[in-house]
Structure 1
Amino acid sequence: MLWLIRLVLLILILYLLYSSVKYIINPKRKLELAQEQKRFYFLDDQENVRKNFHITYKGVRFEGEKYLGATEKAFDVVSIFVWTKNVSSLKGLTREDFEYLQNEIKERYPNAKLDWKSPIHEFLQKSQQKND
């Protein structure tokens, strides 16, 4: 009976260690932590085109939807739509911030055409017209 209790305790301790390690290395937790700390973090599975990527930058969380298509040499991600669910969190972001995000996305997906959904799309068009 004593051996059985020891075995159960050992299994419980191993399970707790396993669970805590899984929690610590969880990428979604890292994304949420980066958002709280207002840092840049890019969460993406580049091998899986069907999975959206997530970016956090200056406390704002963006989501990007990837679309597969044909390029000159192979099939690759050819179109990306990016948006944020919390529009009010965009307060304080500038055109340079969006250019930084575009560069980070282009670095990972050089063949993709990047489109921003409303209201970011309108903001970038207005600031582009002012610069012209």
Structure 2
Amino acid sequence: MIWLLRFVLLFFIIFLFYMGVKLLFQSSRKLESARKHKRFLLIDHEDVRKNFLLTYKGAVFTGEKYMGAKDNTFDVVSISIWPENTATLKGMVKEDFFYMDKKILEHYPNADINWKSPVKEFLQQ
């Protein structure tokens, strides 16, 4: 009986350790840390149907990917990006958006990037 109790206790300790490590390396924690420190971070899933998240200079953006045929292959051909909160765009300049475009094109070289309002109007000025 004592062996069973020890086994259950050991299993519980291993489970708690696993959950703690899993929580530390969660992508939402990385995104929040990068947002707080105003760094660039792109969190993308291999699944094309899932959106990606991007943070730069404290602003968080969501990007939606669209598949299509280009150059005889199926690839991501269009990306729509919009800010999660437009108030966080304060102080950003056009070069910041061009930098984000460049970083996204490193991951998806065949994609056309379309910014949604209010960034679209800002870039057309």
Alignment TM-score, normalising by the size of structure 1: 0.90
Mapped pair 1:107 → 2:97:
no
* C-alpha deviation, 1:33, in angstroms: 1.3
CA shift, 1:25, in A, is: 1.7
What pairs up with 1:9-20 in 2 under 5 angstroms? 9-20=9-20
1:1-132 matches, within 5 Å, as: 1-45=1-45, 47-126=46-125
Give unmatched runs, 5+ long, in structure 1: 127-132
Q: Following TM superposition, by how much is the alpha carbon of 1:72 offset from its aligned partner in structure 2, in angstroms? A: 1.6
Inter-partner Cα distance in structure 1 for 2:9 and 2:71: 59
**How many equivalent pairs are there?**
125
Letter aligned with residue 29 of structure 2: R
Unaligned runs of 5+ in 2: none
Kindly report structure 1 stretches of 4+ aligned residues shifted beyond 4 Å. none
Task: Give, in angstroms, the shift of residue 4 of structure 1.
Answer: 2.6
Cα distance in 2, alignment partners of residues 13 and 120 from structure 1 = 49
* Structure 1 residue 31: Cα displacement: 1.1
Percent of residue pairs bearing the same amino acid type:
54
Cα distance in 2, alignment partners of residues 73 and 27 from structure 1: 34
Measure, in 2, the Cα distance between the counterparts of 1:72 and 1:18: 44
